[in-house]
């Protein structure tokens, strides 16, 4: 059965960039399992965030696993500098891959990183059919990528169920976008085990309490199935 473990992944996009070290420490003290890093290129998504030097600085600051979400058009070109900077996992978007996605998977794996693939809300599960058994993580976007603080798109839940039925226990099924104390339960019931949350963690006064609520609600939904 899936859901052997629940992972809460605070997204640093919602942290205070002038106080990243403090926010990372607060999330770590508060029980974050991994950290989610959103890299945006202004092409694949209509926004820019941060790049390699910031990932490098974060890696110097923390021992946490850095789950690096590349919302960029050319992941093949930039995977290596991000891994060298300290990214433990590299997630690329299936929408940007023009050739065989197995090549991108192999390229990231050869760098020694965990491999993730992300799907936009409009992309069906079938789009990753050829690689679903080869990746370490599938990231189902539950908002259109580019910005934090958006509303969760319920229509993505059936896709989570479909993928949960295809994935092994050792693979992580991640949801990203609009995850809060209430939508986390829907995602966990659908089979997700890794929960990215930006505003629902760093937008709260008590980061530790926010993480605990997300975990409790996810666990409650799994137990109640």
199 binds, among ligand DX5, Zn ion, none (CB under 5 to 8 A by kind): ligand DX5
- Residue 14 interacts, among ligand DX5, Zn ion, none and using kind-specific CB cut-offs from 5 to 8 Å, with ligand DX5
Please state, in angstroms and as integers, the Cα–Cα distance from residue 94 to each residue in 150, 153, 185, 223, following that order.
22, 19, 26, 32
Q: Which residues are bridge partners to 14 per DSSP?
A: none
Is 176 a binder of Zn ion (CB under 5 A)? yes
Partner from Zn ion, ligand DX5, none binding residue 101, C-beta < 5-8 Å depending on class: none
Rounded distance, CA 91 to CA 40, Å?
Answer: 12
Least spacing, CB of residue 1 vs ligand DX5, in Å: 27
Kindly tell me which of 196 and 222 has the beta carbon lying closer to ligand DX5. Answer: 196
Q: Is 38 in the site for Zn ion (CB under 5 A)?
A: yes
Residue numbers 24-43 binding ligand DX5 by CB under 6 A? 36, 38
Out of 8, 14, 58, 207, the only residue in the binding site for ligand DX5 (CB under 6 A) is 14
Classify residue 8 as left (phi > 0), alpha (psi -120 to 50) or beta: beta
Q: Which residue is nearest to ligand DX5 (CB)?
A: 198
User: Which residues, including other chains, have CB under 8 Å from residue 87's CB and lie 6 or more apart?
Assistant: 37, 55, 59, 66, 68, 113
Which entry of 38, 41, 136, 180 is annotated as an active-site residue? 38
Binding residue (CB under 6 A) for ligand DX5 from 119, 177, 186, 207: 177
CA pseudo-torsion sign 19, 22, 24, 27:
negative
Half-sphere exposure of 110 (CA within 13 A, CB side): 8
Cβ-based nearer residue to Zn ion, 92 or 99: 92
Rounded to whole angstroms, how far apart are CA atoms 37 and 167? Answer: 24
Shortest distance (Å) from residue 213 CB to ligand DX5:
14
| Catalytic residue list contains 110 | no
């Amino acid at each position: 059965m899936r859901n052997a473990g629940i992972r809460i992944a605070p997204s640093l996009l919602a942290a205070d960039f002038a106080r990243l070290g403090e926010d990372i420490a607060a999330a770590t003290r508060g029980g974050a399992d991994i950290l989610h890093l959103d890299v945006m290129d202004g092409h694949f998504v209509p926004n820019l965030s941060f790049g390699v030097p910031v990932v490098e600085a974060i890696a110097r600051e923390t021992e946490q696993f850095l789950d690096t979400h590349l919302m960029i058009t050319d992941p093949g070109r930039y995977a290596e500098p991000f891994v060298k900077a300290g990214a433990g996992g590299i997630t690329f978007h299936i929408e940007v891959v023009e050739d065989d996605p197995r090549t991108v998977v192999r390229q990231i794996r050869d760098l020694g990183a965990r491999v993730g693939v992300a799907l936009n809300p409009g992309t069906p599960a079938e789009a990753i059919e050829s690689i679903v058994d080869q990746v370490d993580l599938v990231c189902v976007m539950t908002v259109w990528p580019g910005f934090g603080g958006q509303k969760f798109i319920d229509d993505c839940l059936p896709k989570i169920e479909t993928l949960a039925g295809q994935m092994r226990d050792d693979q992580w099924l991640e949801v990203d976008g609009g995850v809060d104390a209430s939508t986390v339960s829907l995602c966990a019931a659908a089979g997700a085990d890794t929960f990215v949350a930006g505003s629902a963690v760093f937008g709260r006064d008590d980061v530790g309490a926010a993480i605990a609520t997300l975990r409790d609600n996810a666990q409650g939904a799994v137990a109640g199935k």
